[in-house]
Structure formats: C-alpha cells, structure tokens
C-alpha cells in the first residue's frame, strides 16, 4: 500500500541536517509495525513523510500505486485526510470542548457532513470505551483516557493507516497497557498501525519491527 524508495529529507536552517538518507520501506495493508532508533535518527521525519505531513527532497513515495512526489498540496491534503490518522505523544485535546467535540474536530477538513461527523465521533468514542464520557471536558480525564480520546479522534474518519509518534510517552505502565490493547484491537479490525517508540515493551507489540539509524531504515530480525 505504501512504498518509499530512496527517500531523502534534509532540513536546512543555517546548516543542512540529513534526517532521511535513501530510506526504503514497503508497508502492506493490515500490518502492525513498530519503529525504534536513537533520538534524532529520523523516526518522526519518516512518520511525517509517510503521512504526507512532510515532503521528501528526493526519492519516490507511492501511496496505493500513486506517486506522490509531484502532487500539489491540495491533493496531498485530500489523500492524507482519507488515508491517515495521527496520534502524538502530547494528546493535543482542546480544553473547554467536550470529548465528542474534540473527536469531531479531527474530521473538520474531511469529507463528512456535520451530522455524520457527530455520529462517527460517538461511534469512535464507544470504540475506545469512552462513550460514557462524551460530554466530559478532557481536563477531567486521566492521561490514558486522554490518549484514548486522541485515538478516537484519529480513527473516527475511518482512515486506513494509523501513525503514532510516541503514543505512550506520557503514560505510566498501566495506562500504556490499555493503549496498546486498543491499538492491537484496531489492527485486528483491519487498520494498519505504525508506532514510533522508545519503549522496548511497546516495540515488542508490533508484528514487524523497523529500526532507523542515521536516516536509514532497516528491518529488525526477531
Ligand atoms: P527522531 O524522531 O528519531 O528523534 P527526527 O526525525 O525528529 O528524529 O529528527 C531527525 C533529524 O532531523 C535530527 O537531527 C533533528 O534535529 C533534525 N530535524 C528534525 N526536524 C527538524 C526541523 N524542523 N528543522 C531542522 N532540523 C530538524
């Protein structure tokens, strides 16, 4: 489904930093992949390139057979909205809005009408076991619950790939377990899951392991 070939990404603010160097990666629909590697090795950049949040400077990135290199920003935003959901270490929930409103906001730029968005948001909260907290302010939720709301927001619009950058980085081990159980459940239901993590336990959850070192991707042999 996703095929990166010879991907380069160099940041340049003053002096050039090569974040990805000739990175190659093929992801098949339905996989559960975890990505590890030293800090600064290019993991987040890889995730951002995969999710069309960032543009590589070189190489080929095909999404469902379509080469994305030459696509304009509007088309990229459209593909991103349909295909990808994002979960980050910081939950990025808005205080003063209910959880269901937070989940709806994730679909604001998608293809769904307002009424459909509410229905999908409620269904997503049910899916993460927080339907009963739909009117709660995120400030009244625990860290694990907040991340589950963030996951509901990421999957409510029915993406095919969930991209998670250190999703358990702010959680203790008990709540990490609930988030991992949820990711596994979503994967079993067909969602492709990619998780960047420092945590060996989280890394071991994936069916396939990748390691990024100096901007290059290698398979972890298990
Ligand atoms: P990781 O996620 O493995 O910690 P990153 O992908 O965040 O690594 O970063 C890879 C390299 O690119 C690092 O050297 C980092 O400092 C650099 N980098 C990341 N984002 C930027 C940016 N926006 N501007 C400049 N350099 C960046």
- Which residue CA neighbors atom 22 of ligand 1 most closely? 11
**pLDDT of 83:** 95
pLDDT at 111: 78
Residue 198 sits at the vertex; the CA angle it makes with 146 and 222, to the nearest 5 degrees, is 120
Region of 102 (left: φ > 0; alpha: ψ -120 to 50; beta: rest) is alpha
pLDDT on residue 222: 79
- Atom of ligand 1 at shortest range from CA of 9: 12
**Can you list the domains of the chain with their CATH numbers?**
2-220 (3.40.50.300)
Q: Which of 8, 15, 19 to mutate to test the pocket of ligand 1 (most atoms within 8 A of CB)?
A: 19
Q: In this structure, which residue's CA is closest to atom 12 in ligand 1?
A: 19
- At 112 the pLDDT is 84
pTM for the predicted model, two decimal places: 0.95
In the structure encoding, which two tokens stand for residue 77, read together?
């935003």
Going from the Cα of 45 to the center of ligand 1, the distance in angstroms, rounded, reads 7
Residue whose structure tokens are 């398979």 = 219
What pLDDT does residue 109 have?
A: 74
Those residues with Cβ within 8 angstroms of residue 41's Cβ, 6 or more apart along the chain or in another chain: 212, 213, 214, 215
| pLDDT recorded at residue 110 | 73
Compute the distance between CA of residue 72 and CA of residue 183 in angstroms, rounded to an integer: 32
H helices of the chain, in order, are 43-50, 73-83, 99-105, 114-127, 143-155, 173-188, 200-205
Q: How far is the CA of 175 from the centre of ligand 1 (A)?
A: 28
What is the whole-number distance in angstroms between the Cα of residue 40 and the centre of ligand 1? 5
The alpha carbon of 170 and the centre of ligand 1 are apart by a number of angstroms equal to 20
How high is the pLDDT of residue 220? 94
| pLDDT in single tens digits along all 222 residues of the chain | 999 999 999 999 899 999 999 999 999 999 999 999 999 999 999 999 999 999 999 999 999 999 999 999 999 999 999 999 999 999 999 999 999 999 999 888 777 888 899 999 999 999 999 999 999 999 999 999 999 999 999 999 999 999 999 999 989 998 999 999 999 999 999 999 999 999 999 999 999 999 999 999 999 987
Would you call 71 exposed, middle or buried from its count of C-beta atoms within 10 A (0-12, 13-18, 19+)? middle
- Residue among 45, 53, 218 to mutate when testing ligand 1 (max atoms within 8 A of CB): 45
How many Cα atoms are found within 13 Å in the side-chain-facing hemisphere of 208?
17
Q: What atom in ligand 1 is closest to the CA of residue 41?
A: 3
Following DSSP, what letter does each residue of 136-157 receive, concatenated?
S-GGGS-HHHHHHHHHHHHHTT
Measured by CA distance, the residue closest to atom 7 of ligand 1 is 44
**213: CA distance to ligand 1 center in Å?**
12
Write the residue with the smallest CA distance to atom 25 of ligand 1: 11
- Please give the distance of CA 171 from its chain centroid, rounded to a whole number: 17
Evaluate whether 154 touches 87 at the Cβ level (below 8 Å): yes
Tally of CA atoms within 13 A in the half-sphere of 175 that contains its CB: 14
Measured distance CA(217)–CA(46) in Å, rounded:
9
How far apart are the C-alpha atoms of 3 and 137, rounded to whole Å? 40
Residues with beta carbon inside 6 Å of ligand 1? 11, 13, 17, 19, 37, 39-45
């Amino acid at each position: 489904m996703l095929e990166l070939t010879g991907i380069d990404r160099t940041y340049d603010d003053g002096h050039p930093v090569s974040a990805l160097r000739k990175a190659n990666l093929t992801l098949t629909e339905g996989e559960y992949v975890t990505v590890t590697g030293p800090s600064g090795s290019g993991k987040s950049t890889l995730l951002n390139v995969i999710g069309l949040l960032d543009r590589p400077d070189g190489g080929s990135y095909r999404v469902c057979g379509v080469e994305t290199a030459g696509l304009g920003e509007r088309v990229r935003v459209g593909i991103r909205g349909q295909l990808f959901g994002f979960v980050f270490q910081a939950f990025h929930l808005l205080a003063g809005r209910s959880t269901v409103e937070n989940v709806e906001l994730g679909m604001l730029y998608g293809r769904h009408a307002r009424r459909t968005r509410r229905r999908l948001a409620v269904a997503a909260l049910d899916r993460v076991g927080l339907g009963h907290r739909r009117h709660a302010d995120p400030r009244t939720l625990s860290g694990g619950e907040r991340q589950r709301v963030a996951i509901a927001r990421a999957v409510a619009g029915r993406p095919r790939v969930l991209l998670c950058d250190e999703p358990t980085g702010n959680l203790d081990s008990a709540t990490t377990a609930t988030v991992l159980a949820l990711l596994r459940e979503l994967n079993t239901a067909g969602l492709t899951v990619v998780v960047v993590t420092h945590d060996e336990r989280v890394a071991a959850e994936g069916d396939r392991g990748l390691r990024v070192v100096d901007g290059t991707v290698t398979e972890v042999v298990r």
